[in-house]
């Protein structure tokens, strides 16, 4: 009897948490950077073997976690210890156990609020402590009131912030050890030093170290909100403990080796003094500040959530006032529906799925040889090679399709694709005078692109095609530039470019879904028209006139240009609405004209603003198809008339080798046309990204959030594997809000 209903309860809380949400919750509760605050005390009692004390503590807590895991599987309820003791021993014992765990979860956050407010005093001396206390309490209460999904998301952000600070310390600590600080290297003494080791010493230090592990038990309070029930809670409890334990050992190992030869001013500040040795005052401030946030917000927030779940469980059992068992989440309502109209019982086949396997491999090489020195004649020559292979393999199976369509294979599509490109290029630049330069260049290209297609299944005609597209040519370039002074450059450029052709289709020309009548109309033929299986490369001549200017103090810059393009044989998606198929065709010629302006300004010291606006008018001037919707004046697909971006970038040097960095950017893309059953318009969208972190001479550690507002921008229509009907559109959307850490290290110079 392991289901909630088996214990006489109804499912009232929303099961929205994945096992990863539970692991994050447990890690946040334990605080991965907890050793920051107690390192000095463990150091003193362990005689320098701090990571060994944490390893011993981890082993002991592991058995406790296994006990919680067993109880979570047996009693998958929100009450945690209250439910375990009450169900396993006696209801009265459970009542007292519930009150004891409540006191733990209530008093510990209260102490953390006070600790955090006091710790922030030297960082912000003008802010009264009561303001910090009210801020912590209000923020945590608001997040928990707005629902467990928001709380889980905030937990993730706070965990990433803690890990970012921890990784910053790890990287700078290892670099400091490499440069001779502390022990001068990562040694084994912190794990075992025979000169000072004793069981009594490690046992005493471990009794302090285990306090850092408190909190993994809080995962069990979310058993009724876990999608995996008690089993997921059990796994998350153990996983979060092991993950945090590994981080404890890692950070204390590095800190212990760095601490060799140091004398701390107090145990409370020991770790921050070590951080200062590794990365200066900036790293000390970062570790202290993040630890305060982890204690005052992250740890206290999850403790508050745990308290509410235990109160809910005790109120539901009548041990506390019944008002506490109200499980309504009016802040986070949702809607779900189950569609049965097309189920097997109603003449349909029910839900079907697609199994898609798209593997690709690409090898790209480029060799460049260029002149050096400040001479009037400069040259460049090179060779480019690219070998791209992919295989699009998709099937639509159905377990009940045979009874309706005669086969359980509804649709199968396999299309291997390979394109081999090679080019040789060269460029000469000659300064007629110091400010006036002429550039001449050319690129000889050649490519081949064999394409195969196999299509079959109950819902389509069998189509097998093999084709190959290849081409070669020369694309020239000429550019004139004049440097009026060191701050202003004017240029004019004319250049030719191309895009490779390839395979397309399939387009059936017989059977119940034949496209033959519409193909004859569009190609102006009264005889049979073969279904298109390939399209040719297209070429474009581009003419641009522009300027690049910057102020004498380099605080402002403005780059602007205007351009005109003549585009021949434009590749576009053509929809055959009579049969529901699409293919890529060279539909005609187009003209494109527009302008772009880019500005940059240093607003204040360390803060830079930039903006970019582009206007583009792209439309056909001739068409090779008849009554296909491609007429002179038709807009080119996927080309917005207006696009823009703005950004703010901040960089502040904390020390000679450490900088604080941050960037916020927002991009706008205007409306544009696309093709499915017919030409349609995709709406404009705006996406915002932020990132912030730290950078050294060769490394950087950055926390980023992409698509901050979690918008679903419509990027383009999908015609593959979609019913091409006027009532149905399949659209690719932007990636949802994504949070992560970007770690980089540059080797060599």
Answer yes or no: do 487 and 515 share one domain.
Answer: no
pLDDT tens digits, 609-644:
999 999 999 999 999 999 888 999 999 999 999 999
Q: Looking at the predicted structure, is the pLDDT value of residue 722 above 60?
A: no
- Of 499, 530, 548, which closes a domain? 499
For the ranges 92-96, 245-249, 431-435, the lowest mean pLDDT is seen at 92-96
340 within a domain of the structure (yes/no):
no
Answer yes or no: do 716 and 701 share one domain.
Answer: yes
Answer yes or no: do 124 and 231 share one domain.
Answer: yes
Domain of residue 488, residue span: 359-499
Our CA angle for 147, 148, 154, nearest 5°, is: 100
| pLDDT band, residue 333 (cuts 50/70/90) | very low
User: 21-57: b or e for each residue (b if 16 or more CB lie within 10 Å)?
Assistant: bbbbbbbbbbbbbbbbbbbbbbbbbbbbbbbbbbbbb
**pLDDT mean over 383-398:** 85
485 within a domain of the structure (yes/no):
yes
Answer yes or no: do 397 and 509 share one domain.
Answer: no
Answer yes or no: do 557 and 613 share one domain.
Answer: yes
Q: What is the pLDDT of residue 748?
A: 62
| pLDDT band, residue 647 (cuts 50/70/90) | very high
Q: Looking at the predicted structure, is the pLDDT value of residue 342 above 50?
A: no
* Contact assessment for residue 365 and residue 385, using Cβ atoms and an 8 Å cutoff: yes
CA distance 642 to 613: 7
Total of domains in the chain: 3
Q: Looking at the predicted structure, is the pLDDT value of residue 382 above 90?
A: yes
Q: Looking at the predicted structure, is the pLDDT value of residue 399 above 80?
A: no
Answer yes or no: do 467 and 587 share one domain.
Answer: no
How many residues are listed for the chain in this entry?
749
- Give start and end residues of each alpha helix (H) in 146-217: 148-178, 199-209
* Contact assessment for residue 563 and residue 595, using Cβ atoms and an 8 Å cutoff: yes
* pTM score of the predicted model: 0.59
Q: What is the pLDDT of residue 1?
A: 42
200 within a domain of the structure (yes/no):
yes
Answer yes or no: do 525 and 674 share one domain.
Answer: yes
pLDDT tens digits, 733-744:
899 988 888 888
Answer yes or no: do 270 and 377 share one domain.
Answer: no
6 within a domain of the structure (yes/no):
no
For residue 368, give the DSSP letter: E
Beta carbons within 8 Å of 117's beta carbon, 6+ residues apart = 129, 130, 132, 133, 136, 296
Q: What CATH number did the domain enclosing 163 receive? A: 1.20.1740.10
345 within a domain of the structure (yes/no):
no
Answer yes or no: do 226 and 370 share one domain.
Answer: no
**pLDDT mean over 558-569:** 95
Our CA angle for 456, 503, 422, nearest 5°, is: 140
- Of 499, 514, 547, which closes a domain? 499
Report which of 500, 512, 673 is spatially closest to residue 581, judged by C-alpha positions: 512
Higher model confidence: residue 142 or residue 550?
Answer: 550
205 Rama sector, left if φ>0, alpha if ψ -120 to 50, beta otherwise:
alpha
pLDDT tens digits, 21-46:
888 888 888 888 888 888 988 998 88
Three-state DSSP class for 621?
coil
Q: What CATH number did the domain enclosing 682 receive? A: 2.40.170.20
- Give start and end residues of each alpha helix (H) in 411-554: 516-522
Phi/psi for 533 (5° steps) reads: -125, 0
Answer yes or no: do 181 and 251 share one domain.
Answer: yes
CA distance 686 to 684: 7
pLDDT tens digits, 223-265:
888 888 888 999 999 999 999 999 999 999 999 999 998 888 8
Mean pLDDT for the chain overall:
84
* Contact assessment for residue 129 and residue 136, using Cβ atoms and an 8 Å cutoff: no
335 within a domain of the structure (yes/no):
no
| Selection from 220-234, 296-310, 725-739 with the highest mean pLDDT | 220-234
| pLDDT band, residue 670 (cuts 50/70/90) | very high
CA distance 605 to 652: 9
For the ranges 319-323, 430-434, 435-439, 619-623, the lowest mean pLDDT is seen at 319-323
For the ranges 62-76, 212-226, 345-359, 590-604, the lowest mean pLDDT is seen at 345-359
| pLDDT band, residue 123 (cuts 50/70/90) | low
Answer yes or no: do 524 and 495 share one domain.
Answer: no
Answer yes or no: do 273 and 382 share one domain.
Answer: no
Q: Looking at the predicted structure, is the pLDDT value of residue 216 above 50?
A: yes
Q: Looking at the predicted structure, is the pLDDT value of residue 458 above 90?
A: no
For the ranges 214-223, 426-435, 474-483, the lowest mean pLDDT is seen at 214-223
- Of 263, 295, 323, which closes a domain? 323
Q: What is the pLDDT of residue 116?
A: 74
Question: For a pLDDT cut of 70, what percent of the chain falls above it?
Answer: 90
24 within a domain of the structure (yes/no):
no
Q: Which helix (H) or strand (E) holds 715?
A: strand 714-717
Retrieve residue 412's tokens. Answer: 């199968």
Place of tokens 């539970």: 22
524 within a domain of the structure (yes/no):
yes
Q: For the packed helices 35-46 and 199-209, what is the interaxial angle rounded to 10 degrees?
A: 170
């Amino acid at each position: 009897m392991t289901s909630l209903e088996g214990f006489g309860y109804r499912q009232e809380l929303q099961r929205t948490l994945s096992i990863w949400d539970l692991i994050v919750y447990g890690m946040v509760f334990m605080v991965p950077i907890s050793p920051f605050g107690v390192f000095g005390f463990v150091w003193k009692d362990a005689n320098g073997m701090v990571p060994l004390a944490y390893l011993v503590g981890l082993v002991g807590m592991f058995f406790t976690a296994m006990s919680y895991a067993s109880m979570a599987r047996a009693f998958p309820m929100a009450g945690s210890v209250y439910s375990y003791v009450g169900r396993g021993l006696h209801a009265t014992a459970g009542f007292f156990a519930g009150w004891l765990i409540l006191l733990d979860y209530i008093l510990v956050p209260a102490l953390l609020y006070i600790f955090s407010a006091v710790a922030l005093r030297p960082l912000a001396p003008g802010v009264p402590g009561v303001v910090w206390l009210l801020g912590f309490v209000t923020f945590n209460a608001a997040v928990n009131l707005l629902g467990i999904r928001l709380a889980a998301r905030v937990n993730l952000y706070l965990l990433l912030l803690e890990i970012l600070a921890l990784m910053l310390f790890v990287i700078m600590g290892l670099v400091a050890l490499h440069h001779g600080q502390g022990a001068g290297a990562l040694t084994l003494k912190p794990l075992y030093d025979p000169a000072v080791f004793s069981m009594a010493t490690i046992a005493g230090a471990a009794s302090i170290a285990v306090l850092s592990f408190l909190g993994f038990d809080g995962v069990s309070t979310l058993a009724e909100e876990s999608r995996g029930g008690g089993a997921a809670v059990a796994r998350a409890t153990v996983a979060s403990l092991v993950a945090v334990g590994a981080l404890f050992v890692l950070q204390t190992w590095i800190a212990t080796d760095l601490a060799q030869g140091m004398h701390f001013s107090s145990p409370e500040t020991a770790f921050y003094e070590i951080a200062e040795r590794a990365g200066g005052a900036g790293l000390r401030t970062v570790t202290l500040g993040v630890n305060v946030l982890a204690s005052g917000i992250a740890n206290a927030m999850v403790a508050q959530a745990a308290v509410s779940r235990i109160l809910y469980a005790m109120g539901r059992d009548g041990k506390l006032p019944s008002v506490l068992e109200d499980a309504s989440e009016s802040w986070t309502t949702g809607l779900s529906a189950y569609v049965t109209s097309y189920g097997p019982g109603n003449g349909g086949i029910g839900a079907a799925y697609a199994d898609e396997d798209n593997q690709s491999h690409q090898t790209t090489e480029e060799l460049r040889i260029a002149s050096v020195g400040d001479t009037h004649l400069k040259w460049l020559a090179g060779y480019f090679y690219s070998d791209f292979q992919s295989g699009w393999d998709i099937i639509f199976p159905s377990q009940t399709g045979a009874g309706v369509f005669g086969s359980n294979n509804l649709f199968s599509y396999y299309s291997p694709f390979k394109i081999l490109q090679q080019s040789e290029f060269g460029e000469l630049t000659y300064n007629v005078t110091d400010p006036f330069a002429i550039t001449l260049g050319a690129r000889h290209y050649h490519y081949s692109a064999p394409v195969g297609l196999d299509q079959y299944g109950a819902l389509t005609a069998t189509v097998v095609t093999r084709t190959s597209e290849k081409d070669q040519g020369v694309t020239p370039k000429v550019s004139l530039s004049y440097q009026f002074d060191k701050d202003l450059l004017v240029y004019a450029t004319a250049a030719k470019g191309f895009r490779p052709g390839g395979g397309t289709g399939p387009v059936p020309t017989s059977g119940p879904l034949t496209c033959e009548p519409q193909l004859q109309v569009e190609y102006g033929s009264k005889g049979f028209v073969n279904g298109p299986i390939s399209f040719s490369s297209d070429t474009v001549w581009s003419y641009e006139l522009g300027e690049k200017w910057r102020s004498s103090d380099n605080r402002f810059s403005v780059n602007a240009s205007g351009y005109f393009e003549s585009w021949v044989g434009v590749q576009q998606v053509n929809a055959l609405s009579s049969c529901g198929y699409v293919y890529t065709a060279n539909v005609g010629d187009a003209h494109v004209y527009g302008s772009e302006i880019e500005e940059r300004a240093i607003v204040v010291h360390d803060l830079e603003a930039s903006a970019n606006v582009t206007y583009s008018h792209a439309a056909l001037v001739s068409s090779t198809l008849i009554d296909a919707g491609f007429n002179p004046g038709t807009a080119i697909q996927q080309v917005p008339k207006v696009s823009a971006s703005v950004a703010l970038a901040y960089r502040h040097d904390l020390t000679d080798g450490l900088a604080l960095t941050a960037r916020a950017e927002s991009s706008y893309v205007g409306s544009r046309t696309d093709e499915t059953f017919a030409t349609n318009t995709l709406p404009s969208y705006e996406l915002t990204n932020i990132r912030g972190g730290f950078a050294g001479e060769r490394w950087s550690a950055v926390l980023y959030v992409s698509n901050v507002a979690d918008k679903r921008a419509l990027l383009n229509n999908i015609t593959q594997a979609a019913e091409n009907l006027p009532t149905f559109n399949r659209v690719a959307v932007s990636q949802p809000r994504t949070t992560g850490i970007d770690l980089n290290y540059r080797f060599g110079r």
